Structure 1
Amino acid sequence: MNKKYKNFGVLYIVSTPIGNMKDITYRSIEILKNVNIIAAESIKNIKKILNVYKIKSNIISLNKNNEKKMSNKIFLELSKNKNIAIVSKAGTPLINDPGYIIVKMCHKKNIKIVPIPGACSAISAIVSSGINSNNFCYEGFIPKKEKQIKKMFKKLSTEKRTIILFETSNRIIKSLKIMIKFFGKNRSITFLKEITKFWETIKKTKLKKLIEWLKFDKIRKKGEIVLIIKGKNNKKKKIKEKILNTFSILKKYLNTNLSVKITSKIHNLRKNFLYKYILKKKMT
């Protein structure tokens, strides 16, 4: 450690429950008991946890509105050899929550940072989604404005990795309707709400069916929502031999366009897909 900062305190990034109060580690409790200051995104929420575990540490506010100002104050307190814990409203700090500025400052000044692992709604959602969890991208909350929503979905429509998104109950239907235009009605999606809480719900289905399911009962969409969306499958579909045989027979008597049109109707296949395949295989 740089000699200039060897007498600084330690910055702890402490994960807290996302719903169920029992989802907190012994280590998290120990750290929260022993630090000099807890920098909390929501003082109200952290007080609930501290009261349950009879912790009486000093609390200061660290939210998106005061993050820059409070980061300087936290740094000043660290310079006085005080240990500080960052906690978000729920779950793991810095994931769509404040804390990045002070963490960046600590790295720059070579001040010790200690992450205390624990609950995270995004990770809890993807591992229980039934969709590939080995490769994924986290995009946070879906934007509020329609123009921004379309821009996001257009970018993500070709994403091969599993996608993690957050959305609110009052906007979920609108966002899913826009999503269909870019992802298609049959894209696999898992809807999760109120993870770890009493009304926890996990529903894996197709995009169109999810909208119908949510519309059927308004209660289903109420709560904190995570969406896990299957990445785009770029594997090229193979056309069965019997379909190609049908085309070959028709081609003896008809032109290519008409042969493709009739073949696609007989086998319930997209005409453009069959036509491109025929051209690629030079069957014209």
Structure 2
Amino acid sequence: MQSQKSFAKNQATGTLYLVPTPIGNLGDMTFRSVEILKTVDLIASEDTRNTQKLLNHFEIETRQISFHEYNTRERVPELVSKLVQGTNIAQVSDAGMPSISDPGHDLVVACIKNQVPVVPLPGANAGLTALIASGLSPQPFYFFGFLNRKPAEQKRQLEKLVPKKETLLFYEAPHRLKKTLKNMVAIFGGERQAVLCRELTKKFEEFLRGNLQELLTWASDNEVRGEFVVIVEGNQQEERLTESLPEMSVEDQVANLISTGEKPNDAIKQVAKLRGLKKQDVYNNYHHLKE
């Protein structure tokens, strides 16, 4: 067990501050984040050129060092060494919270291992910003982030998510959005409700709400620009089946599940479980077989 008192006096090492940056609108930068960036000894930036624009805007003169996915192996030991020697470092990503979709997690783990305090600051996060305005259930939710770029691996990832009842959160780049939506339609079904959240906090912020098939049609018919948060409704089949029990026949329930892409045997198994019936009885009913 390890205990960290983030603001203890006479700390023997430096502190790693995880500082969120705006996801689009510079007005979302907090006073505390600006103060930390001004007072630390060093800023570890995912892209120093991008971060420099932010520093210039807030008149911050602190020195930067690059820290991204391509130099993680050599940079983590270097940064930890500086922290152990008493250097205070702020880590920032290009936009939003550090450690999400950037190498910050590796640095956090190394700091904890070396008894270096890790202090998180609250701030902008694209996933939660999109979720609360999506209209889909905000809790529970399952944050996935970026899906694998390889089509076959992406399909495997989506297949594992099919049974999840939680609202699903993904990040996606504009040039990959159409292919990702196509895979989601094939695996989740075109009727699954979803929301495309584009250019959050920026001038052209936009929310596109509909089912996956409608959103795929939109992505096919329009020029896709800007970074996206894709929010997909969780698997509600069991709840909807339960709600339909009083007015829908066993045969119709099975047929309804099959129409959403479920395999016949799996549909029969689900209906039998929900109704407390034997699987064979549901099978016979659906196929009009006499005992």
Q: How many residues align?
A: 261
2:215 matched to 1:210?
Answer: yes
> In the superposition, relative to structure 1, how do residues 7 and 127 fare at CA in structure 2: closer, same or farther (>3 Å)?
same
Q: Give the aligned partner of residue 253 of structure 1.
A: none
Deviation at 1:70, TM superposition (A): 1.0
Contact 1:187 1:207 (C-alpha < 8 Å) held by counterparts: yes
d(CA) in 1 for partners of 2:91 and 2:257?
56
User: 2:248 aligned with 1:228, yes or no?
Assistant: no
SS at match of 1:173: helix
1:270 to partner: Cα distance: 6.5
What are the superposed Cα offsets for residues 156-192 of structure 1, whole Å, 9 maximum, x if unpaired? 1111111111111112111111111111110010101
**Matches of 2:256 and 2:145 in 1, distance apart?**
39
- Aligned partner of 1:157 among 135, 158, 162: 162
1:68/1:101 contact within 8 Å kept: no
Structure 2 residue aligned with 1:254: none
Does residue 20 (structure 1) correspond to residue 25 (structure 2)? The answer is yes
SS of corresponding position for 2:27? coil
Amino acid at match of 1:151: R
Q: Where does 1:46-195 land on structure 2 (aligned, <5 Å)?
A: 46-195=51-200
Q: Detail structure 1 runs of 4+ shifted over 3 Å in the superposition.
A: 267-284
Quote how far apart the aligned CAs of 1:145 are.
Answer: 1.3
Question: Equivalent residue for 2:7?
Answer: none
| 1:105 partner SS | helix
Matched residues in 2 for 1:51 and 1:63: separation? 21
- Aligned-partner residue type, residue 232 of structure 1: N
Alpha-carbon distance in 2 for matches of 1:169, 1:181: 20
Once residues 258 and 145 of structure 2 are traced to their aligned partners in structure 1, the CA distance between those partners, rounded to angstroms, is 35
* Unpaired stretches in structure 2, ≥5 consecutive residues: 5-9
Show CA shifts across 1:131-173 (max 9, x none): 1111111111122111111101111111111111111111211
User: CA separation of 1:156/1:270 partners in 2, compared to 1, >3 Å: closer, same or farther?
Assistant: closer
Instruction: State, as a whole percentage, how many aligned pairs show the same letter.
Output: 33
Distance in 2 (CA, whole Å) between partners of 1:79 and 1:268 is: 61
Q: CA deviation at 1:79?
A: 2.1
- Cα deviation, residue 112, structure 1: 1.2
AA of the residue aligned to 1:25 = T
Two-structure CA RMSD over aligned residues (Å): 2.8
Separation in structure 2 between the aligned mates of residue 109 and residue 217 of structure 1, nearest angstrom: 50
* 1:43 corresponds to: 48
Cα 1:274–1:56 shift into 2, 3 Å: closer
Offset, 1:6: 4.1
Q: Which amino acid aligns with 2:57?
A: V
Q: Per the alignment, in what secondary structure is the counterpart of residue 197 of structure 2? A: strand
Normalising by structure 1, we get a TM-score of 0.84
Mapped contact 2:268–2:282 kept (Cα < 8 A) = no
Q: Distance in 1 between matches of 2:156 and 2:256?
A: 33
* Distance across 2 between alignment mates of 1:196 and 1:183: 29
- Asked if 1 retains the 8 angstrom alpha-carbon contact of 2:137 and 2:167, the reply is yes
Q: Distance in 2 between matches of 1:96 and 1:87?
A: 12
Shift of 1:204: 1.3
User: Which amino acid is 1:215 matched to?
Assistant: S
- Offset of residue 239 of structure 1: 4.5
Give the TM-score, by structure 2 length. 0.82
Mapped to 1, the partners of 2:109 and 2:175 lie a distance apart of 34
Give, in angstroms, the shift of residue 26 of structure 1.
Answer: 0.1
Unaligned runs of 5+ in 1: 248-259
Asked if the contact 2:84–2:116 (Cα under 8 Å) also holds between the matched residues in 1, the reply is: no
Q: What is the DSSP-based 3-state SS (H/G/I as helix, E as strand, rest coil) of the residue aligned with 2:158?
A: helix
1:214 CA drift (Å): 2.3
